Structure 1
Amino acid sequence: MEHHMEHNGPFCQSCGMPVAEKDLLGTDREGIKTEEYCKYCYEDGEFKQPDITLQGMIDLCAGYLVQQGMDEAEAKGMLAQTLPLLKRWREESVS
């Protein structure tokens, strides 16, 4: 059974952040906006943190959610459920 985050529109396939606003979108090698990733994860066709692990991304994103008032354990639990379904981490877990 798939879990979907509770919002409409595209979201980053690396960190799960909603990217409804065009200025949040990452860019490919030609500088063209991509709807797959946000600008915090992906720029000029490359990941900004190429060596980050899934757990590292969960910890990083949980920090932002805590700043927004979410409980840390709750944030990490939600991310642990949703991030592995995203394109970046599905591809990585295969290898």
Structure 2
Amino acid sequence: MVSTYQPQGPYCQSCSMPMQKPEDFGTNSNGNQNQEYCRYCYQNGNFTDPDITVEQMIEKCVDIMKKMNLPDMQIEQVKKYIPMLKRWSTKSV
């Protein structure tokens, strides 16, 4: 049986970070909480790094996860999972 990583939701549709506390959520242009993206990826109605590619996002997340000493298996699953998130699944390859 193959185990697939899926963070406990809701989770950011850009980086896959679980959003569990109100301060984890990004903000819309009107200051309201955004339900799809975290505070690191989305602030004031815009992506914080609008030109980042999916490959760069994966690299960034892997670096953070390694610093957090998360299991290699989880890191490998995130590499496969991020391209399926809303922000990236609508991009043409």
2:87 matches 1:92: no
Deviations along 1:31-87, whole A, 9 cap, x unmatched?
110110000000011000000000000000001100111366862x22221011100
Q: Quick check: 1:41–1:49 contact (8 Å CA) kept in 2?
A: yes
Unaligned 5+ runs, structure 2: none
**Which structure is richer in relative contact order (CA contacts within 8 A, separation 6 or more)?**
2
Q: 2-side partners of 1:43 and 1:6: how far apart?
A: 22
What is the percent sequence identity of the aligned residues? 37
Q: Which has the higher helix share?
A: 1
Which blocks of at least 5 consecutive residues in structure 1 are unaligned? none
Instruction: Show the 5 A alignment for 1:10-29.
Output: 10-29=10-29
Aligned residue for 2:70, secondary structure, equals coil
- Structure 1 stretches of 4+ with a deviation exceeding 2 A read 70-74
The TM-score, its normalising length taken from structure 1, stands at 0.84
**Aligned length in residues:** 90
Superposition TM-score, scaled by structure 2 size: 0.86
- Tell me, in whole angstroms, the C-alpha distance in 1 between the residues paired with 2:29 and 2:45: 4
Structure 2 counterpart of 1:5: 6
CA RMSD of aligned residues (A): 1.9
Instruction: Give the Cα separation in 2 of the matches to 1:27 and 1:45.
Output: 6
| Alpha-carbon shift at residue 4 of structure 1 (Å) | 5.4
